[in-house]
């Protein structure tokens, strides 16, 4: 099922809207402390009952912005990691582009689901907490792919995520970041909380250099959603 098919499937989207109303009432849905927010992600997957429509961020296809970038930046055996991999579509795109890919998600249910969807995958899937990652991952990846994780966090969690993600990039490696965006005086209500330029440029505080940023819109019924795709490089 393609990205466009998901969003044009009325029955699928009706189930998604119903699920969103339910999970928006759960503790941690709108932010809160660290434990509440992380528990919310666990609950979303556990209560989905195997229906991807109940996972608001699951499109059942890799993001177009990632596929386009990978077409110009093949892996050629380099090592990559997908942050917050969900049901695995973006991680599979990395592997298909020639990267030796590892992928993790906070939810063990998400990881189990991804493995079932891609039983013959070369991706190494692991349940792991972004804020308590294996030490051997520090500075280990030629490509770190972050899509929609930071925008799902707020406050201290958001700031800490930028620091942690930066630390995964190997010398000479890249960070590809894709999130919803807003301008500096924006006040979008979340979740998700779109990123401001000053926020994604904070990666430069942790040894990365912004080399390219591209703004684009995704159209949905009745709305247009601004996005940014930013590339960062870590010098050797």
**Quick one: average pLDDT of 15-37?**
86
- More confidently predicted of 39 and 5: 39
**Quick one: average pLDDT of 124-138?**
96
* Whole-number average pLDDT of the chain: 93
pLDDT > 90? residue 132: yes
- More confidently predicted of 3 and 224: 224
pLDDT band at 28 (very low <50, low <70, confident <90, very high): confident
Domains of the chain: 62-234 (3.40.50.150)
* pLDDT above 90 coverage of the chain, percent: 78
Dihedral sign for Cα atoms in the order 148, 28, 197, 103: negative
- The sheet carrying 100-105 orders its strands as 124-127, 100-105, 79-83, 141-147, 169-180, 223-234, 208-220
**Quick one: average pLDDT of 192-218?**
97
pLDDT of 5: 67
């Amino acid at each position: 099922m393609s990205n466009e098919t998901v969003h044009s499937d009325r029955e699928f989207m009706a189930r998604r809207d119903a699920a969103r109303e339910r999970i928006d009432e759960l503790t941690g849905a709108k932010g809160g402390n660290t434990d509440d927010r992380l528990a919310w992600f666990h609950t979303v997957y556990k209560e989905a009952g195997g229906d991807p429509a109940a996972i608001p961020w699951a499109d059942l296809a890799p993001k177009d912005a990632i596929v386009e970038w990978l077409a110009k930046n093949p892996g050629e055996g380099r090592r990559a990691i997908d942050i917050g991999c969900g049901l695995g579509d973006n991680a599979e795109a990395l592997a298909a582009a020639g990267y030796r890919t590892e992928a993790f998600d906070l939810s063990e249910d998400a990881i189990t689901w991804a493995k079932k969807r891609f039983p013959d995958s070369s991706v190494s899937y692991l349940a792991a907490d972004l804020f308590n990652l294996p030490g051997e991952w520090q500075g280990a990846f030629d490509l770190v792919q972050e899509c929609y994780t930071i925008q799902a966090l707020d406050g201290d969690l958001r700031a800490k995520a930028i620091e942690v993600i930066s630390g995964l990039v190997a010398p000479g490696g890249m960070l590809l970041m894709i999130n919803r965006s807003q301008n500096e005086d924006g006040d979008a209500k979340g979740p998700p909380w779109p990123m401001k330029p000053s926020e994604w440029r904070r990666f430069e505080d942790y040894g990365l250099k912004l080399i390219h940023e591209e703004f684009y819109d995704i159209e949905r019924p009745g709305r247009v959603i601004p996005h940014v795709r930013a590339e960062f490089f870590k010098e050797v």
